[in-house]
C-alpha cells in the first residue's frame, strides 16, 4: 500500500523562526507518538530557482519572511485520518492551537494531502 503525505508551504517571519521551531518540535513529537512515520520541518536555504518558480514567489513572502516546507508521512490516507484525529485531541497541542499565538499567518499556509507516486 502506498504511503500518504501531508505537505505544507508556510511563509514565516524570520524573527519568529525560533518560536516556530519550538512549536514544530512539540508537533513532531505528538505526530510521531500517534503513528506518523516521519515529520519534517525545513526552512528555506537555497530558494533562487533559476529555472522554475521560486518558493518565495509561490508563497508571496515579504522581505522579512522565509519559507518553511513541511511534510508528515503516514502508512496510508486512512492511517493519516486516524493519526490526525488523535493528534487534534492531544492536550500537548492545546497551547499551540491559539491562532493569535501562531508564529505565522495561518491564512497564508498552503496545505494538501498527497498519495505517494514514487516511494524509494
The pTM (predicted TM-score) of the whole model is 0.92
Quote helix, strand, coil % in the chain, to nearest 5: 40, 25, 30
Q: pLDDT tens digits for 14-67?
A: 999 999 999 999 999 999 999 999 999 999 999 887 788 888 888 999 999 999
CA distances from 26 to 39, 70, 106 (A): 11, 14, 18
Domain regions of the chain by residue span:
4-47+56-96+108-115
Q: For 4-47+56-96+108-115, give the CATH class.
A: alpha beta
CA neighbours within 13 Å on the CB side: how many for 112? 5
Q: Which helix (H) or strand (E) element contains residue 79?
A: helix 77-89
Q: pLDDT of 76-114, one tens digit each?
A: 999 999 999 999 999 999 888 888 889 999 999 999 999
Amino acid at each position: 500500500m502506498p504511503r500518504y503525505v501531508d505537505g505544507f508551504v508556510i511563509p514565516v517571519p524570520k524573527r519568529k523562526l525560533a518560536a516556530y521551531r519550538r512549536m514544530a518540535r512539540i508537533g513532531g513529537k505528538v505526530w510521531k507518538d500517534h503513528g506518523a512515520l516521519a515529520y519534517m520541518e525545513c526552512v528555506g536555504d537555497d530558494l533562487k530557482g533559476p529555472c522554475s518558480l521560486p518558493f518565495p514567489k509561490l508563497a508571496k513572502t515579504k522581505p522579512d519572511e522565509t519559507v518553511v516546507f513541511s511534510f508528515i508521512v503516514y502508512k496510508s490516507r486512512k492511517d493519516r485520518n486516524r493519526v490526525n484525529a488523535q493528534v487534534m485531541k492531544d492536550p500537548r497541542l492545546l497551547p499551540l492551537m491559539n491562532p493569535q499565538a501562531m508564529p505565522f499567518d495561518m491564512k497564508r499556509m498552503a496545505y494538501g494531502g498527497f498519495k505517494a507516486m514514487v516511494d524509494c
